[in-house]
Chains A and B, each alone.
Chain A
């Protein structure tokens, strides 16, 4: 997990840096080049101030200043011949252009060139050519790029560090949870996962703790059962066998009294079996009183639209005289959802959801007007791959959930007009 977080963070940071950095780098280069050109122009213009207008007349030697930064200046006469400085002997395109009156830019490969005209007495009498090797400007650009790269590296480094720290913070509780789960699997039901502050991991830890507790209880009960069962069953069995075998062995002893006693032994056995079964039976988690109207209202709300969109109607009815039920609303919501989804997908016509009283129980029928399922009841609720017909997992899960709530889910009418019934025991049943 650490690697994944780290990789993601670095990838994202790299992408961000690249998205900004690349255009920025290109912009920086352009900036430097423009700046160089402007500088060339300025140097040329400044040098031009010192040149007298009477240049053509006197042919005095002219001294051009030597600017910094590798800029070379050259002076050209109106005829295009170089008078002073560093540059080509004859006027190039830029200089020729300058001599005709405009500031001109030009570039031989490898240099930036700017030529500035010098005018006096309303005519251009000379031009100054300023040039700088591209190499010089590039050097400056590359230095800037290096600085940017260093910053980017810094950003990536910081991102990496943060990612590493964060993943450590996350992976520690996940690791602890995994360890707790492993211990649980190995049979230690006393293990409890601690809270870590990470919401999702804590939720998983909580669920694990609840499971560990229930498993622990079940195991304890099973152990108690095994320990008792052997003794409690074998003793009355032995008595019974002894009585009957003795009666068989002794001729004429198999009379009513012996048989009565044997039946009494069986009563005793029966009672013991009941006790032991009750001991072994899992009561399940404590349940809350179910708010039936609320559950039905939710069903209506959730499915009315979907069915209406397909031109089908949904009837949600609660018959009078419903007994109270203790069950998990979340589990039942899921069960009803599966059943209605089933009716929506595989059924046809109006879907009716009806809560009705059953003999000392509570029943919920989900019917539709379709042909009904073709497979037998057993197949329908068996867990199959989703791809088969789409009924697969949903119904099997719904049945498990119903069983876990102490109820049953059955196909009470196979169809046409199939009906799935969820039955739940009433909370305070009538005493018999």
Chain B
């Protein structure tokens, strides 16, 4: 089993050390940086698979670090750790490129489960083969995707999400089901990461020239990919 790399960027020593320890126990290869600039340096040297990023860093604004991390390591999953539970601050972070957030204080078990869910490769029962819907084409095997013939670069989770929705094209897929199949069936807490990924998908599809009404939000239920 290959070791997944986790980078912890957290200035509080007790928390940083505690997280590093817990993650190592889970079998991950862990690095710990106490400042934003250190964290960016580490990420530049060797891109980690997942970053646990504290927003209350001493040297740089956590959201700014997130933005730069995204630029330096585009394939990395970024999970914010924040004491700022004001909804809007979470949104700011997600908009800056974070994949998910966990509020402090967190239950260690939950955090570990989140990390596991984010790092898991393909979900159970993930679609295989080729899928088409409207002008969209997806090849699950090679992990590639095209809009009207032009290839679009998707991050792994975005890909899995789109694949699921395309497999059920024209039908609403409930939030719980999406979380279970794309991430993990034992998902704890907030599912804002789903909204965030849908947002990112919408933006990428739109940029590739797809119909703006491709992904519909059914409030309180889930999402639907339209066969336009």
Q: List chain A positions with a Cβ less than 8 A from chain B.
A: 266, 270, 319-321, 356-361, 363, 377-378, 406-408, 410, 412, 421, 423-425, 428-432
Closest chain A residue to B87 by CB distance? A425
B95 within 8 A of A: yes
Contact between B190 and A358 (Cβ–Cβ < 8 Å)? no
The tally of residues in B whose CB lies under 8 Å from a CB in A reads: 32
B192 within 8 A of A: yes
Contact between B91 and A410 (Cβ–Cβ < 8 Å)? no
Contact between B63 and A361 (Cβ–Cβ < 8 Å)? no
Which residues in A have their C-beta under 8 angstroms from that of B216? 321
Contact between B203 and A356 (Cβ–Cβ < 8 Å)? yes
Closest chain B residue to A429 by CB distance? B87
Q: A357-B199, A359-B196 are in contact. Are A432 and B191 (CB under 8 A)?
A: yes
Complex Cα spacing A361 to B198, Å: 12
Q: How far is the CB of A128 from chain B (nearest CB, A)?
A: 106
Contact between B202 and A358 (Cβ–Cβ < 8 Å)? no
Q: How far is the CB of A415 from chain B (nearest CB, A)?
A: 13
Complex Cα spacing A359 to B213, Å: 17
Q: A319-B206, A407-B88, A424-B88 are in contact. Are A358 and B199 (CB under 8 A)?
A: yes
Closest chain B residue to A359 by CB distance? B196
Contact between A358 and B212 (Cβ–Cβ < 8 Å)? no
Contact between B88 and A408 (Cβ–Cβ < 8 Å)? yes
Which residues in A have their C-beta under 8 angstroms from that of B195? 359-360, 430
Q: 6 A-B residue contacts at CB 8 Å?
A: A321-B215, A358-B94, A363-B95, A425-B87, A425-B91, A431-B220
Which residues in B have their C-beta under 8 angstroms from that of A407? 88
Which residues in B have their C-beta under 8 angstroms from that of A410? 63, 92, 96
Q: A361-B88, A407-B88 are in contact. Are A432 and B95 (CB under 8 A)?
A: no
Contact between A358 and B67 (Cβ–Cβ < 8 Å)? no
Which residues in B have their C-beta under 8 angstroms from that of A432? 189-192
Complex Cα spacing A132 to B189, Å: 115
Interchain CB contact (< 8 A) of A321 among B61, B67, B91, B202: B202
Q: List chain B positions with a Cβ less than 8 A from chain A.
A: 61, 63-64, 67, 87-89, 91-92, 94-96, 105, 175, 189-192, 195-196, 198-199, 202-203, 206, 212-213, 215-217, 219-220
Complex Cα spacing A423 to B92, Å: 7
Which residues in A have their C-beta under 8 angstroms from that of B95? 358-359, 361, 363, 412, 421, 423
Most chain B CB within 10 A, of A358, A421, A423, A428, is at: A358
Complex Cα spacing A432 to B191, Å: 6
Q: How far is the CB of B19 from chain A (nearest CB, A)?
A: 18
Closest chain A residue to B190 by CB distance? A432
Contact between A360 and B192 (Cβ–Cβ < 8 Å)? yes
Which residues in B have their C-beta under 8 angstroms from that of A321? 202, 212-213, 215-217
Complex Cα spacing A432 to B195, Å: 10
The B interface, classified by DSSP as helix, strand, loop or mixed, is helix
The A interface, classified by DSSP as helix, strand, loop or mixed, is mixed
Q: How far is the CB of B116 from chain A (nearest CB, A)?
A: 20
Complex Cα spacing A314 to B188, Å: 45
Interchain CB contact (< 8 A) of A359 among B64, B91, B206: B91
> When A and B form their complex, which 9 residue pairs have the shortest distance between CB atoms, in order from nearest?
A359-B196, A320-B212, A361-B91, A359-B195, A359-B94, A432-B190, A360-B195, A358-B95, A408-B92
Complex Cα spacing A432 to B189, Å: 7
Which residues in B have their C-beta under 8 angstroms from that of A424? 88
Most chain B CB within 10 A, of A410, A421, A430, A432, is at: A430
Which residues in B have their C-beta under 8 angstroms from that of A378? 61
Contact between A430 and B190 (Cβ–Cβ < 8 Å)? no
Complex Cα spacing A203 to B9, Å: 51
Complex Cα spacing A117 to B89, Å: 109
Which residues in B have their C-beta under 8 angstroms from that of A377? 61, 64
Complex Cα spacing A378 to B62, Å: 12
Which residues in A have their C-beta under 8 angstroms from that of B67? 412
Q: How far is the CB of A8 from chain B (nearest CB, A)?
A: 50
Which residues in A have their C-beta under 8 angstroms from that of B94? 358-359
Q: How far is the CB of A320 from chain B (nearest CB, A)?
A: 4
Complex Cα spacing A430 to B193, Å: 12
Which residues in B have their C-beta under 8 angstroms from that of A363? 95
Closest chain B residue to A424 by CB distance? B88
Q: A321-B215, A321-B217, A431-B220 are in contact. Are A408 and B89 (CB under 8 A)?
A: yes
Contact between B191 and A358 (Cβ–Cβ < 8 Å)? no
Interchain CB contact (< 8 A) of B91 among A320, A356, A423: A423
Which residues in B have their C-beta under 8 angstroms from that of A421? 95
Which residues in A have their C-beta under 8 angstroms from that of B105? 266, 270
Q: How far is the CB of B225 from chain A (nearest CB, A)?
A: 13
Which residues in A have their C-beta under 8 angstroms from that of B215? 321
Q: How far is the CB of A263 from chain B (nearest CB, A)?
A: 9
Q: A428-B219, A430-B195 are in contact. Are A319 and B212 (CB under 8 A)?
A: yes
Which residues in B have their C-beta under 8 angstroms from that of A406? 88
Which residues in A have their C-beta under 8 angstroms from that of B63? 410
Most chain B CB within 10 A, of A266, A358, A359, A421, is at: A359
Q: How far is the CB of B183 from chain A (nearest CB, A)?
A: 14
Closest chain B residue to A356 by CB distance? B203
Q: How far is the CB of A136 from chain B (nearest CB, A)?
A: 92
Closest chain A residue to B221 by CB distance? A430
Complex Cα spacing A431 to B190, Å: 9
Interchain CB contact (< 8 A) of B88 among A266, A270, A412, A423: A423
Q: How far is the CB of B39 from chain A (nearest CB, A)?
A: 18
Q: How far is the CB of A28 from chain B (nearest CB, A)?
A: 78
Which residues in B have their C-beta under 8 angstroms from that of A360? 87, 91, 192, 195
Closest chain A residue to B222 by CB distance? A430
Closest chain A residue to B96 by CB distance? A412
Closest chain B residue to A405 by CB distance? B88
Q: How far is the CB of B32 from chain A (nearest CB, A)?
A: 24
Closest chain B residue to A361 by CB distance? B91
Closest chain B residue to A274 by CB distance? B85
Which residues in A have their C-beta under 8 angstroms from that of B91? 358-361, 408, 423, 425
Q: How far is the CB of B190 from chain A (nearest CB, A)?
A: 5
